[in-house]
Amino acid sequence: LVKDRMGIEALNDMQCQALNAWKTGGGDLVLYSPTGTGKTLAFALCLLQALKPPMQQLQAVALSPSRELVMQTAEILRQLADGYKVTPCYGGHAVADEKASLAVTPDIVVATPGRLLDHHKRGHINLRGARLLVLDEMDKSLELGFEDEMRQLLKQMPHLNRRILASATVLDVVPDYVRLHNPFTLNVLEGTEQPAERITVWQVLADNKDKLDTLHRLLLSLRGGKTIVFANYRESVERIHQWLVKNRIDAGIYHGAMEQQERECAVALLNNGSVNVLVSTDLASRGLDIDTVEHIVHYHLPVSEQAYIHRNGRTARVDANGEAYVITAPNEPLPEWISVDDTMELNPAREMPQAPMATLYFQAGKKEKLSRGDIMGFIANNGGIPAGDIGRIDVRDHYALAAVPRHSAQGVLKRLQAAKIKGKKVRISIISVSAFR
């Protein structure tokens, strides 16, 4: 199932242990595992084992602390739970769309606590029938102050018979309102190589207080590879992004003042190879589903050790290695919790390699009955490129993205604009990095 629908050859040890404990234990599961080890897939597979056939009744609720985690979890469940209705609910998503989806009761709801509580209070959903509960990133949920919302929500689910609690750090106390029953705790935090042990940390010395030129030379020295540049302020992120684009570096941008769709597109462009670099605040340090980030750049020193750990946690995921670069201005001391392996001598190339892909934007999505298969077939049949050249395809509620080779993107676009998809004309364009913000 996992291989056919997700292209994953085999489950890792943690996922196998979690699934076995869930199948054989009969009680609740508490899963402690490092970030990036596949907890979402682990609890999704456990849920599948406990679901009854689709019945247009709410069976399971999964609560996550961020909209990005909600989208990631919902996407994995949709791939695996064939025939089951999965409805995501989160801030920044159209309430009207969610209300319409909830009108036909889903089998599984994946939501942020605040948004789900809002739907409950408005009478859009009845939670009493839920039998299964997932609390994902429980440590982050408590840290962000979702305790009151979760307490209220769990009061509305009196018939829960199994629960999964997942966290990247061990909780001192599991809140009493979770009502764990006969829990089996699987802790793979201890005795496993932590991501920090697979990260090489370099100090990069800037010539002056303004680090833009040093960042530019660093990126040219890295010569490509998926990179996230972290800064502490939205204004700084905007300024860095503008500088990089002006200097012909394909870069995306991500921060909390952006619209939800803009943020989704920024992550998609990094994932599909349309940009090499994402410039972000610490908002991107947790919860985003970004594949194989090779380089983390700390343009500003993180505000805390925890922020430093979470930033670096975007690389060296699962069994991969990664590199982090800490840029320091003259006389800027390193905090004691940052330990560097060496100082990097910059050797910049003349220019940054262009990102290999470009992204087509379709002004229609799931709500307009477009699927990945529809878009794949449309491009392959009308775009003038082989199906094997088509990259990642992301389909959202009212838009879709498809990656195609950069060198042929304009020709593909021209041919597609003259064609119809499922008998309809859909507006299609290429996302321009320079016009992204």
| CATH number of 182's domain | 3.40.50.300
404 contacts 419 by C-beta, under 8 angstroms: no
311 contacts 285 by C-beta, under 8 angstroms: yes
pLDDT category at 153 given cuts 50, 70, 90 is very high
pLDDT of residue 435: 58
For residue 350, tell me if it sits in a domain: no
Which residue range forms the structural domain that includes residue 22? 2-187
For residue 13, tell me if it sits in a domain: yes
Q: Are residues 244 and 374 in the same domain?
A: no
Distance of alpha carbon 237 from alpha carbon 52, whole angstroms: 47
Q: How many CA atoms lie within 13 A of 285 on its CB side?
A: 23
Task: Provide the whole-model pTM.
Answer: 0.75
DSSP state of 211: -
For residue 352, tell me if it sits in a domain: no
Q: Are residues 256 and 223 in the same domain?
A: yes
Q: Are residues 310 and 385 in the same domain?
A: no
pLDDT category at 3 given cuts 50, 70, 90 is low
Instruction: Kindly provide the b/e burial profile for residues 108-136, where b requires at least 16 CB atoms within 10 angstroms of the residue's own CB.
Output: bbbbbbbbbbbbbeeebbebeebbbbbbb
Report helix angle 95-103 to 113-121, nearest 10.
Answer: 60
Q: Are residues 321 and 365 in the same domain?
A: no
Q: What's the CA dihedral at 350, 255, 166, 38 to 10 degrees?
A: -30
Mean pLDDT computed over every residue of the chain: 91
Q: Are residues 291 and 332 in the same domain?
A: yes
Q: Is 204 exposed, middle or buried (0-12, 13-18, 19+ CB in 10 A)?
A: buried
| Pairing label, strands 393-395, 400-405 | antiparallel
Structure tokens at 73: 């979890």
pLDDT in tens, 176-222: 999 999 999 999 886 554 556 678 999 999 999 999 999 999 999 99
pLDDT of residue 46: 96
Query: Of 129, 156, 187, which residue is a domain's last?
Result: 187
Q: Are residues 139 and 35 in the same domain?
A: yes
Query: Of 139, 167, 187, which residue is a domain's last?
Result: 187
pLDDT of residue 141: 82
pLDDT in tens, 221-236: 998 889 999 999 999 9
Distance of alpha carbon 121 from alpha carbon 85, whole angstroms: 22
For residue 22, tell me if it sits in a domain: yes
For residue 435, tell me if it sits in a domain: no
State the average pLDDT over residues 401-430: 96
pLDDT of residue 408: 96
